[in-house]
Structure formats: C-alpha cells, structure tokens
Amino acid sequence: MRRSLFLKILFGFWITYIAITQSVWLVFSYYSSQKEPVENRIANRIVALQFNSAVSVLETHGIDALNRMIDKWPEADRRSVSLMLLKAPLSAVSERRSLIPLTDDVRVEQVKSADGQNYLLKYDVEALRKEYRPKRSGRILFNLPNPLLILGAIGGFLFSALLAWHLTKPMRQLRSGFDRVSQGDLDVRLYPMMGKRRDELSDMARDFDSMVERLKLLVDAREQLLHDVSHELRSPLARLQLAIGLARQNPHNVESSLERIEQESVRLDKMIGELLTLSRTDATGISDEEYFDLYGLVEAVVSDVRYEAQIPGVAIELEADEQVQNEATVKGNAELMRRAVENIVRNALRFSSTGQLINVALSQNENEFVIQVSDRGPGVDEDKLSSIFDPFVRIKSAMSGKGYGLGLAIARKVVNAHRGSIEARNADGGGLIIQIRVPRWTA
C-alpha cells in the first residue's frame, strides 16, 4: 500500500509536538507536586488568622460576639468552623491547649468563654483548602486546560502541515521533472522553480538541471553524429553502386570497377573502424586499464610517422628530458592512447609541407604529463579552433581528402577517458599547437 510522504511528515511532526507539550506539562506537574501547594499556604494563613480571632473573641466577649463575627465571614469559611459546648473540661489544665497542630487537616482547641462555659472550637482546614484548590480534570494525558489544548492542537497541526508542504513541494517538482524527462522532454528546469530556497533540496534541483543539460548535450551529439555518419557513408556507398552499375553495363570495365569497389570498401572499413573507436571511447571511463610507459609510446608513434614523413620531406623531432625518459608511467589503455597521439601527429603531418618541422615534446609537472605537438602549417581560423575536435569537421589542407574528420574527435574522447584534457591554439609564428595533459601515476 502506497503511503504519502506528506502525511508521514504531517502526522509525525504533529504527534511529536503534542508529545513534547505533554512531557513538559508532566515534568512541571511533578516538580510542583514536590512543594507545598499554594492553596495550602493560603488556607493555613487564613485559618491562623480566623482561628486566633475566634478564640480571642470567645474568651473576651462570649459566644454571642463570636457568632456575630462568624456571620460576617464568607460562606466557605463559615462552613469550616464548628463550636461545641462541653459539659466538663477535657483537661484539668486551665490554660488553652491546642490538640491538633495548625499544619494538619483539622484544628481543634478547648476554649473557656467569658461566661465561664467550656467550648470545643473546631476548624476544618482541609475543607477550606478545597475551596482554593484549582479543579483538575483527573486525566493523565491531555491534562492541559481545554482552551489551551484546542489552541495547541490546531496550531500544531497548521505548523506541521506548513512544514510538510514546504518539504514535499520540491520533491513533487522533482518527481514531475523526472516524469517529463522519461517522456523525452529535456527542456525541463527545476532550479528556477525553487524560488528563494537555498537548501539541500535546491542543490538537488540544480544538480537535476545539470544532469538534464548534460543529457540534452549527449542526445544532441548522438543525433548529430548519426546524421554525420549517414551523410559520410552515403558517398562511398553511392560510388560502390555506380561501380557495380558500370561493371554490368560494360563487361570490359569489370577490372577497373572491381578496383574502384575495393578502394571504396577499404575506405568504408577505415571509416567504420574509426567510428567504432570513437564509440568505444565515448564514456567517462575506459576498460582494460593497464600501466604503460608514455615516453615509449610517444617515441614509437613518432618513429612510425617519421617513416611516412620522408615522402613529403617533413622532419619530426622528439624532445623529452632525461627524467621523463626514465619514468613516465600512466594508467589507462595503451592502445587507445597510442591511437590518440598518432592521430594528432598525423594531423600535423597533413598540414605540413616540404622542409617544415614538426616538434613533439613530452614534459612533466607535479601532477601530470604534457604532450605538445607543434607544426609550421597554416594554422586554423580562431573561430574554428573550438570545433576541430568535433566529429567530421575537416580543415582544408594540402593533403585534404585523406581523412574523415574523426582523428581529433577520437583523440579528445581518449584523453577525456583518461581524465586528462586537450586543447589547441595557433602558434605566434604560424602553425597549430595541440597540447595533451594526462595525469601522472604515482605508486
């Protein structure tokens, strides 16, 4: 059975509020009962005054004077006093003798009046106390006065309801937001709906907005990637169909058509391989982690690309200090990192012409290794620097047409998966500088 969090908070706080008020009342009642009640002290003082006055009047002026005085007392006080004529004295002692102390429930004293008669004067102290004692309901719980009990119950309920509503409102908004996201609405934002709240729930709303914004970017990137892949695959597939059609129309051109088909198949295979690599690295983490020597990896990449650079006549040099050569351990996937560095060096080679130099430098600082690849090519327009790491973005070069705009996108994905960073900037004297930062591994 589903239960409402609002009702849980409402009744939870309300019951707690009532329990606290009752506990405080019981504690005060307990400690007040340890002392002599106020009504007892009042009754004792009245009894002392009236009793002594009655004895004095009876001894001095007689019974008639006492009756006249008692008639002027309040009704409750008159009911507490009684007088009895004694035929014989209770004691041979002529002095007055108090039989019961003042602090007890009844005070009795033998008095000899002015006319020589002996009287027994009795004062019911407890009866007088009851007149001044506040009436109690006799209830253990809810023993507050009824007006105070009703006011406290209503006030506590309203306070609990307001508090429960204040706590559950953002939760309902979060639930509504998740429901809209599950239906594909990635434009919902909750933090502006929080008003002036500045607490953990508003922080949760801000995190929710960041999550939705990230989801929107990922979905848009996926859709754009799917669109770009479809567009890139359409051209080689069209050429394949054209080559097959020409081979059927002219049997003498079968050999050249097969060569064209083979060429386009190789291009498709290469593109699909790069797409698979891009998809493999499109995550926050990587699988098959290992420890590898970053300097040895970069040196191997430079050696391979240097062999290819002989044809265009481009020189490639590697710079690294002795400390980096001896210790450059990195944790991650060596194959993917090699692919990333190779794509960047080959990109520099693509934009270099005969006689130019490509410099690859490996250095370290306190927490990371830095790989910097610099060429002397034409560079990139400043307004396009931020987009060269996006898939299928190609910059015109002397060797244009040999890539699909996936190399730098793969490099960025790989570096990000290794918790590193990559950036590009134009060199002051011309050319492009791409810098990779990879965290160092320390034992």
**Which two three-digit tokens encode residue 92?**
């041979």
Looking at the chain, the number of H-run helices and the number of E-run strands are 12, 11
Domain that holds residue 167: 5-36+136-171
Domain stop point among 258, 280, 302: 280
Domain CATH number, residue 428: 3.30.565.10
pLDDT of 42-69, one tens digit each? Answer: 777 888 888 888 888 888 888 888 888 8
Q: Per-residue b/e over 361-384, b at no fewer than 16 CB within 10 Å?
A: bbebeeebbebbbbbbbbbbeeee
Q: Is 181 part of any domain?
A: no
Distance CA 314, CA 329 (A): 30
Output the pLDDT for position 310: 85
CB-based contact 343:314 (threshold 8 Å): no
What's the Cα-to-Cα distance from 402 to each of 103, 110, 345, 399, rounded to whole Å? 115, 133, 15, 7
Domain stop point among 233, 256, 280: 280
Q: Is 24 part of any domain?
A: yes
Output the pLDDT for position 316: 93
Provide the pLDDT confidence category of residue 156 given band limits of 50, 70 and 90: confident
Considering only residues 219 and 355, tell me which one the structure prediction assigns the higher pLDDT: 355
Considering only residues 140 and 67, tell me which one the structure prediction assigns the higher pLDDT: 67
One domain, residues 353 and 434: yes
pLDDT of 216-265, one tens digit each? Answer: 877 877 776 677 667 667 767 887 888 888 888 887 778 888 888 887 78
One domain, residues 272 and 223: yes
**Which two three-digit tokens encode residue 326?**
């001896």
What's the Cα-to-Cα distance from 69 to each of 78, 128, 269, rounded to whole Å? 10, 18, 126
* Number of domains the chain contains: 4
**Which two three-digit tokens encode residue 45?**
């003082």
Packing angle, helices 146-182 and 5-33, rounded to 10: 150
One domain, residues 141 and 234: no
Lowest mean pLDDT among 4-8, 84-88, 237-241, 348-352: 4-8
One domain, residues 313 and 431: yes
Tell me what the pLDDT averaged over the chain comes to. 78
Q: Which of helix, strand or coil describes residue 426?
A: strand
Q: Is 14 part of any domain?
A: yes
Distance CA 421, CA 413 (A): 10
Nearest to 412 by CA among 389, 388, 437, 442: 389
CB-based contact 399:347 (threshold 8 Å): no
Distance CA 381, CA 383 (A): 5
Q: Is 184 part of any domain?
A: no
One domain, residues 25 and 43: no
Q: Is 370 part of any domain?
A: yes
One domain, residues 323 and 241: no
One domain, residues 212 and 308: no
Domain CATH number, residue 105: 3.30.450
One domain, residues 433 and 311: yes
Q: Is 180 part of any domain?
A: no
**Which two three-digit tokens encode residue 10?**
């409402």
Distance CA 52, CA 156 (A): 52
One domain, residues 309 and 403: yes
Residue type, 379: G
Does 442 score more than 90 pLDDT? no
Q: How many C-beta atoms lie closer than 10 Å to residue 341's C-beta?
A: 26
One domain, residues 248 and 210: yes
Distance CA 89, CA 2 (A): 85
Output the pLDDT for position 136: 59
Domain CATH number, residue 206: 1.10.287.130
One domain, residues 105 and 76: yes
Question: What is the DSSP track for 318-359?
Answer: EEE-HHHHH--EEEE-HHHHHHHHHHHHHHHHHT--TT-EEE
Q: Is 177 part of any domain?
A: no
Q: How many C-beta atoms lie closer than 10 Å to residue 77's C-beta?
A: 17
Over 146-183, what HEC string results? HHHHHHHHHHHHHHHHHHHHHHHHHHHHHHHHHHHHHC
Average pLDDT over residues 183-193: 84
Region for residue 427 given its phi and psi (left: phi exceeds 0; alpha: psi -120 to 50; beta: otherwise): beta
CB-based contact 424:360 (threshold 8 Å): no
For 183-321, where are the alpha helices, taking DSSP H only? 200-249, 254-280, 294-308
Does 166 score more than 80 pLDDT? no
Provide the pLDDT confidence category of residue 400 given band limits of 50, 70 and 90: very low
Look-up of token digits 């009962």: 33
One domain, residues 305 and 215: no
Q: Is 52 part of any domain?
A: yes
**How does DSSP classify residue 383?**
G
